[in-house]
Structure 1
């Protein structure tokens, strides 16, 4: 049985749709469908049932899934060992990362490349968080994610650092409007707020919009001047001197933004998030993975943010 048939099968399981799986597997939807049909023919059983939103596993499909994941992991481990990549600091290292991970790690990339010139970093954005939940990462691949691990995963999620959201503003905005000194002063300032889309449901509205609620009853919150579902857009609004907004502190690196209300933030009500370093169990001893893991931990330690495993 070809291992790629199992990869395609796992991708369809992961996304619940042959169309979405086709993007992950670099195939056309009809190509995915053909591979699933071929696999069903080899096993002489039906693996999926179609419905309005996509497909779902049959009982036989559920029985196959765990074995398929284990076979893929074993196959990749064998290939990795045969190619001798366990003990070399040369070649590609793919880093799948969400936005928070990318913003945090990017300022350190040049230093990493200078330290390990033969490791070719490939940063891959994963805003839908689908790849980091997958159990079928291929190649020498690790991840960075600013949300909690799923309940079921074959990957190792190691806590890397912890950070709290704090308010920032542009110096020119503060010169014009005055820097708030008390919570009550927020009543006289423009506040940029968040309105999260469903994929960000792991973010707490009251905490990410703490500037609206602070010192107010929940049903009498301040009215924001603007809303967004993207932290980077919030940063851009702040840089346009539009008001005050809560962001993770490292999102202001390289900008002119300054913190405000430092006597009150961070506090116990501030949103606390962790950044995780993610890797497959079989790559735990891989030289490239170890080098990158040690490097990002060193950077987190320098910033006083390093968490113990």
Structure 2
């Protein structure tokens, strides 16, 4: 006989995410006392403390850390079951939840969804776009069918699959002084330049540093930005150089708003990756779209 309930697990995960019963209570539509009672009942049924009580704080202990991914998996499966048989909203009957890092989600994923929909029935997709670190957390927490990232992932709970190579180019405004030299820029000149970079945790930031630092040793930061569009605009007004995906700057290059600098650097590429959680059971359309992405000629 199963004694623990999905509701108790839902409250447990909410408390873990929010950090306290007070913060978790509105998330699960319960009072603080009812939230605390649900945690106490779960611990009683398991005959195990899941949190250490430190003053008024609840600190997840080793037993709680063991339960957390299992609870998330069960809640994810239950949610999928509800969606699959939700006749009131057939648009999400088969569901499709994707978490993607910024460049892929903005410049590649819409095209892939469009191509897929021309020959397949595509349920309404829910696309979460964030930096690589957040995508890893989403897939690890069973909040996405799969993830598409631009940086490395070392999370042992996830299967990391190389996807395809993306070309990086060094760009600036046409009027930028380094563009006026009319020749290939040397490592010394690039080393002294000011660079427009993504924020820490971004796959683009990681990829740019991996591509450039072995040759330049360091990058002088002229500003950190939370998305590539902001970097494009900053480069456009002459704030510095940028190293971005060719897909990101193709429109501005074609219009002459930005120029691709000629340098003594070798061709620059980075890997894109697919993230999956092996324990997650995907619904048919999610699996079908994932296979489509794997086999797509980009």
TM-score (norm 1): 0.67
Aligned to 2:274: 276
Distance 2:13 2:23 in 1: 9
Q: Is the 2:19–2:58 Cα contact (8 Å) retained in structure 1?
A: yes
- CA change 1:238–1:68 in 2 (3 A) is same
Q: Is the 1:169–1:258 Cα contact (8 Å) retained in structure 2?
A: yes
Trace 1:159-170 onto structure 2 (pairs within 5 A).
159-163=162-166, 165-170=168-173
Aligned to 2:142: 136
> SS at 1:227's partner residue?
strand
1:255 shift after superposition: 3.0
- CA change 1:6–1:297 in 2 (3 A) is same
- Select 1:237's aligned residue among 203, 214, 234: 234
Trace 1:68-107 onto structure 2 (pairs within 5 A).
68=71, 71-72=74-75, 75=78, 91-103=94-106, 104-107=108-111
Distance 1:244 1:63 in 2: 46
- CA change 1:275–1:62 in 2 (3 A) is closer
Does structure 1 residue 145 correspond to structure 2 residue 141? no
- CA change 1:195–1:279 in 2 (3 A) is closer
What RMSD, in angstroms, separates the aligned Cα atoms of the two structures? 4.5
Q: Is the 1:168–1:259 Cα contact (8 Å) retained in structure 2?
A: yes
- Select 1:18's aligned residue among 14, 17, 20: 20
Aligned to 1:5: 8
Q: Is the 1:22–1:29 Cα contact (8 Å) retained in structure 2?
A: no
> SS at 1:151's partner residue?
coil
Aligned to 1:186: 189
1:251 shift after superposition: 2.2
Unaligned runs of 5+ in 2: none
Q: Which moved more, 1:250-259 or 1:232-241?
A: 250-259
Q: Is the 2:97–2:127 Cα contact (8 Å) retained in structure 1?
A: yes
Aligned to 2:288: 291
Aligned to 1:306: none
Distance 1:175 1:113 in 2: 44
- CA change 1:60–1:89 in 2 (3 A) is closer
> SS at 1:137's partner residue?
coil
1:93 shift after superposition: 1.2
- CA change 1:258–1:110 in 2 (3 A) is farther
Deviations 1:191-250 (A, max 9, x none): 3243744x4599559826838x856xx5xx6755x2214342222212334332112333
Q: Is the 1:169–1:239 Cα contact (8 Å) retained in structure 2?
A: yes
Unaligned runs of 5+ in 1: 303-309
Does structure 1 residue 109 correspond to structure 2 residue 128? no
- CA change 1:35–1:180 in 2 (3 A) is farther
Distance 1:64 1:288 in 2: 29
TM-score (norm 2): 0.69
Q: Is the 2:153–2:160 Cα contact (8 Å) retained in structure 1?
A: yes
Aligned to 1:254: 251
